[in-house]
Structure 1
Amino acid sequence: MADAPAAGDRAPAFNLNDQNGAKLRLSSFKGRKVLVYFYPKADTPGCTTQSCALRDIAGDIGDTVIIGISPDQPEKLAKFDEKYGLGFTLLSDPDHETAEKYGVWGEKVNYGKRYMGIIRSAFLIDEKGKVSHSWPKISPKDTPTKLLKALAEG
């Protein structure tokens, strides 16, 4: 597994299906800032808290794009988007290939059981495709506040 990209690194490219089944590339947002956040599973408590908090600040981030990525299938992502009125792109990474490129696929422990999964993380990518901020192991509640702070810094 790759290390998570740090500030100044080129953001790993991706080409994934969104919640509507359409292919989306990171490069299609060149010229805009993009928040890419990885979450373990749609419609679970932490992921819902994180996604809804990002939805709630979407009006405060200008033309910055929000993209959520999880291993869920597009149909499940569409239901998640619709249920909470998220209104931003959710991408399906069922083979966790993109998560591995971003260094966010790793061993987790839950109730003593070890398994592989998404390590909740977020990355702010600048207009030129470079990582400006990297937040590995971010908490759901911290994602929007860290994004707003990073955007305010310029």
Structure 2
Amino acid sequence: MTEQLSPGDVAPDFTLPDADGGSVTLSEYRGSPVVVYFYPAAGTPGCTKEACDFRDNLADLEGAGFAVLGISPDKPGKLAEFRDSEGLTFPLLSDPDRAVMSQWGAYGEKNNYGKIVQGVIRSTFVVDAEGKIQQAKYNVKATGHVDRLRREIGV
């Protein structure tokens, strides 16, 4: 099992390609809080629901100063299709070798319908303006967790 992050830990920095082939570096967001979420696969029902929940709540999150970054193992082209088909307006980042997911504890053993498999662990993190983990949520549900997150961070 990959080691999980906890509140107070320094968020591991990363630079990943976005849906358009550019790059996004977490430390570029220093000075503002960021929600970083990891999801298994663009375009699947649960991941679509989760991404659309972030999309639908983005104005409130941004209004409170939060940026949102979504990370999956999908290649940039698939992320662009997903973004365009769902009208997503926040960066989707590609981690095909799952190195960043592993650093964040969002890749490893998980229970998938009663079977233990290796895979992406649906996870959401709040990184504060200084680059430290404020919240680390593992094994979140695709449905309803954005509302719960908003309540917990007061948005």
TM bucket normalised to smaller: over 0.9
Q: Structure 1 residues 133, 114: CA separation in 2 closer, same or farther (over 3 Å shift)?
A: closer
Give the residue type in structure 1 aligned to 2:96.
P
2:7 is aligned to 7
Q: Is 1:10–1:130's contact at 8 Å kept on the other side of the alignment?
A: yes
| Contact residue 133 and residue 150 of structure 1 kept, 8 A | no
CA contact (8 A) 2:2 2:107 kept: no
**Superposed displacement of residue 65, structure 1:** 0.6
1:60 has 2:64 as partner: no
In structure 1, give the amino acid aligned to 2:52.
C
In the TM superposition, what is the alpha-carbon distance from 1:86 to its structure 2 partner? 0.9
Partner residue in 2 for 1:27: 27
The one-letter code sitting in structure 2 at the alignment partner of 1:127 is A
- Residues 111/152 of structure 1: CA separation in 2 closer, same or farther (3 Å cut): closer
Matching residue of 2:103: 101
The CA RMSD over aligned residues, in Å, is 1.6
Tell whether the 8 Å contact from 1:54 to 1:143 is kept in structure 2 after alignment: no
What secondary structure sits across from 1:19 in the alignment?
Answer: coil
CA deviations 1:61-95 (Å, max 9, x no partner) are: 12311100000000000000000001000000000
Gaps of 5+ in 2: none
Distance, in Å, in 2 between the alignment partners of 1:83 and 1:35 is 22
| Range with bigger deviation, 40-49 or 135-144 | 135-144
Mapped partners of 1:143, 1:114: distance in 2:
23
1:145 is matched with which residue? 147
Deviations 1:112-148 (A, max 9, x none): 6553210100000000000111111111123311321
Asked if 2 retains the 8 angstrom alpha-carbon contact of 1:6 and 1:131, the reply is yes
Q: Which runs of 5+ in 1 are unaligned?
A: none
